[in-house]
Amino acid sequence: METLQKNDQMGAYTEAVKSGLYAKKSGLVGKYDNVRRYWEDEITRSFLYPHMQRLVDNCRRDMRRIRILDLGCGSADGFELLTGIRVKNADLQEFEVDLLTPETINEYVGLDLNEDLLNQGREIYGDNPKIRFIQGDFSESLPLGKEEPYDLYFSSFGTCSHHLTDETFIKMMKDIALSVNHKSIVVCDWIGRYSYEWQSLWNNNLEDIQVMDYVVSYIYSEEERRLRQDQLQHIDLRLLGRNEAEKLIQCAEKESGIKINSLCYFDRSVFTGRHMDTGDYNSKAQPIREAVNSLHEMNMRTDLKSLIIDYIPKKGFPFINKYYENLQLCWNTLVMYVSELLVKYNEEERVFYGEIPEVPAIYPQKLQEMMERMKIIVAGVGWLNTGLPRENIIEPQLGYALRNLIMSLQQGFGCAHGLVGIFEIEKEG
């Protein structure tokens, strides 16, 4: 009898396992790995922040709330990204630090062609009355005539690269511009033309539209990729650089007759795109994303040598090569400096052994700042004998310092997995 009761109780654990809630999740792999959460989303949030702050202020002044249309929303990842924007320079004692709070949002509408992704979004956010999903192909048309104008037209993670021709993108921007009442922000996200991940695809012919056969292989381990080679999903995506993006915006502005201001461009996922690890398009690419994921994994010690980048230039691209060369040198300098700090720090006496090299004044300002910051961090927590200070404090802070470096030195030319443009549509009157 007792055995039967125990077996009955085991059913509760079986149910929990089937629910997926008992699954061991790691930030080392998968769609929502550490780079996605702590780098890619946060970089986008950082560049968006000043423009979103102005949008929030304008809506408050006009006594209305923000309406958002997410183009290619998937399962509403854009909602999570946008509502995760934090107020900058918040005091330590502050608790409410989200820029977009529930009371500032009127409605979030997600548009996507894939019904499975939309259903997943409905399962996640079905209880939120301010979230609504529409099935449709944004590269063909937008449901703007039936909807009130939006304040933010948002796309993320290469969504705009589904526009394989100039005409469809220009039409989309024109339709958005014509639907705007007064002012709106538009965020366009393309696959970068000059990412090191697909150096083999680089070319200098900007007159031809370049479409890549994008393989969704990164969600599998190296062994699984090899076994599933014939089963991997392929997507046609357009590669775009900043010059091409600007021409598209100018054409949309001309056809609509409405001013479209370019607020900023930025490169996201420089050296850390998912195909750095697969090497599908560049056999010389190194698994830098894997190493950065490790920096942000709790209780895991990272071999800092795995972070050292050896960029191989491609002939015929002097400007791009110069950019990557400088970025690589700054990145590697910071990593090697932290490695030296860790070796020379005396945990018992709380001092550095020997002489720590001075940070040269000729180094880029942001590199100097990050080196000085890491020195303070190592000296400040290196002596702790609880909580794994290297794994859980120093290494994540090195990750943030490298992210800060990348954000400061990026140029917004399409030299990353993602090229993002932020625009403002402005109507007179």
pLDDT tens digits, residue range 163-192? 999 999 999 999 999 999 889 999 999 999
- pLDDT at residue 94 is higher than 80: no
* Residue 231: pLDDT band with limits 50, 70, 90: confident
Q: What pLDDT, on a 0 to 100 scale, did the predictor assign at position 355?
A: 86
| Residue 151, number of CB atoms within 10 A of its CB | 24
Mean pLDDT (the chain) is 91
Q: Quote the distance between the C-alpha of residue 417 and its chain's center.
A: 9
Domains and CATH numbers, the chain: 27-271+413-426 (3.40.50.150), 288-409 (no CATH)
Report H helices in 69-165. Answer: 77-83, 115-125
Q: What pLDDT, on a 0 to 100 scale, did the predictor assign at position 24?
A: 56
Q: Calculate what percentage of the chain has a pLDDT beyond 70.
A: 94
Residue 259: enclosing H or E segment and its boundaries? strand 259-268
**Shortest CA distance to 285 belongs to which of 255, 311, 246, 250?**
311
> Kind of pairing, strands 183-192 and 152-154?
parallel
* Residue 9: pLDDT band with limits 50, 70, 90: very low
Q: What pLDDT, on a 0 to 100 scale, did the predictor assign at position 428?
A: 73
Q: What pLDDT, on a 0 to 100 scale, did the predictor assign at position 144?
A: 79
Amino acid at 367: L
* Residue 126: pLDDT band with limits 50, 70, 90: confident
Q: What pLDDT, on a 0 to 100 scale, did the predictor assign at position 5?
A: 55
Which residues have C-beta within 8 Å of that of residue 128, sequence separation ≥ 6? Answer: none
- pLDDT at residue 14 is higher than 60: no
pLDDT, tens digit, for every residue of 73-92?
999 999 999 999 998 877 77
- pLDDT at residue 235 is higher than 80: yes
- pLDDT at residue 6 is higher than 60: no
d(CA 421, CA 427): 20
3-state DSSP helix/strand/coil % of the chain, to nearest 5: 45, 15, 40
**Separation in Å, CA 345 to CA 340, 364, 382, 395, 397:** 9, 25, 7, 15, 17
Amino acid at 173: M
* Residue 109: pLDDT band with limits 50, 70, 90: very high
In terms of pTM, does the model score above 0.85?
Answer: yes
Q: Tell me the Cα Rg of the chain.
A: 24
Q: What is the mean pLDDT of residues 260-264?
A: 97
* Residue 22: pLDDT band with limits 50, 70, 90: very low
